[in-house]
Amino acid sequence: MTNPLRAGYGRRANQFLATATLILLSAIPMAASITKSEFGKMPDGTPVDLYTLTNADGLVCKVITYGAAITELHVPDRTGKMGDVVLGFDNLGQYLTDSPCFGSVVGRFANRIAKGRFTVDGKTYTLAINNGPNTLHGGIVGFDKVVWQAEAVDGPNGPSVVFTHVSPDGNEGFPGTLTVRMTYTLTNGNEVRFDYEATTDKTTPVNLTNHSYFNLSGKGDVRDQVLQIKASRYTPGDEGLIPTGVLAEVAGGPLDFTQAKPIGRDLRRVPGNTNGYDHNYVIDGGGKNLVLAARVYDPATGRSLEVSTDQPGVQLYTANGLNGKIVGKNGWAYGAYAGFCLETQHYPDSVNQPSFPSTLLRPGERFKSTTIYRFAAK
């Protein structure tokens, strides 16, 4: 006859051993990996590849060769539960027709160029117009709308994808053949790292960034997520968001994020007709070496994001233009404030603003830039 006390003890011992095994297994780092699959095909039959990067802690970043776009980014919350924290689609068709630059690299020139014109060395260039009277994010067919060449690299810091693209002389009106190389790395320090390089055979403006829309909750909107931007000044603009050339103080106004506050606290006080934030901030101490530009914390999940960059500015955009008509992954209809963008870059219209840091790249020079998005939870 089985002794019930002994049987109960045995069950408890087995449960203890199972729990201890799970704890030990969770403490053992995973092997970082990278895989490649097909995401779809362009109308002309060109394949678009999907790379899935997994780091030693189990974070997952998925990127496609169309627009070098991040489609998914899975990071843990305070309980260890993984969640996708970027907006996007699960099919190529919507990226071709519906995407407002979800997760893409934008260029040659991120943000706006006034009236689609600039003058270099006495010659005036006319660009493609796609934002009222202005050029936005490189024009009608910017870097977010091309298929990049890509190569997987399994490096010591984590899995990477190296993207390359050659933009021909005259593309969208820009001078020079521009060769761009970008390395996306999902580090074992739970960072997404962007390393940009570019060379040209004619003097041309270059301003590159990634346009991911983040939502640290993975659902709802971002108005309760708490943001700090390390910037005491910004570049005020006209109705078309073209800077006036002034660097204005943010202190005490609705654009002031020098002290952390919920993104939505002052949304209704933001000046202009943007219906939210779409402003370039002048990073304190930015433009030379890597410095902290911004922090975001989500009280609901405990997830946090830190943004470091060597660029002089960061554009805060709160997805004001979304209205629920675009349906993304898992049937989520993206409305206003469904995500936030922190686009590290030079100031808008820098090529027409002599007082701003220069964006001109000349033959024989090499454009280099690094931005790091670091994730944690508490």
120: number of Cβ within 10 Å:
16
38: number of Cβ within 10 Å:
11
Q: Is residue 151 annotated as part of the catalytic site, yes or no?
A: no
- List, in order, residues 6 or more apart from 129 with CB less than 8 Å away: 116, 135, 139
Nearest one of 314, 257, 321, 260 to 283, comparing CA atoms? 314
Among residues 72, 172, 191, 343, which one is catalytic? Answer: 343
Q: Number of C-alpha atoms within 13 angstroms, CB side, residue 317?
A: 19
Distances (CA, A) of 287 to 175, 233, 353, 359, 364: 25, 14, 16, 11, 21
The DSSP secondary-structure symbol of 221 reads: -
Q: Is the dihedral of CA 180, 186, 187, 191 positive or negative?
A: positive
Among residues 211, 239, 249, 365, which one is catalytic? Answer: 211
- Return the structure tokens found at 149: 């060449």
- Return the structure tokens found at 335: 């409305």
Residue 79 identity = T
Strand partners, 160: 153, 185
- List, in order, residues 6 or more apart from 11 with CB less than 8 Å away: none
Given a contact cutoff of 8 angstroms between Cβ atoms, the answer to whether 56 and 188 are in contact is yes
Phi, psi of 287 (to 5 degrees): 100, 0
Positions marked active-site: 211, 343
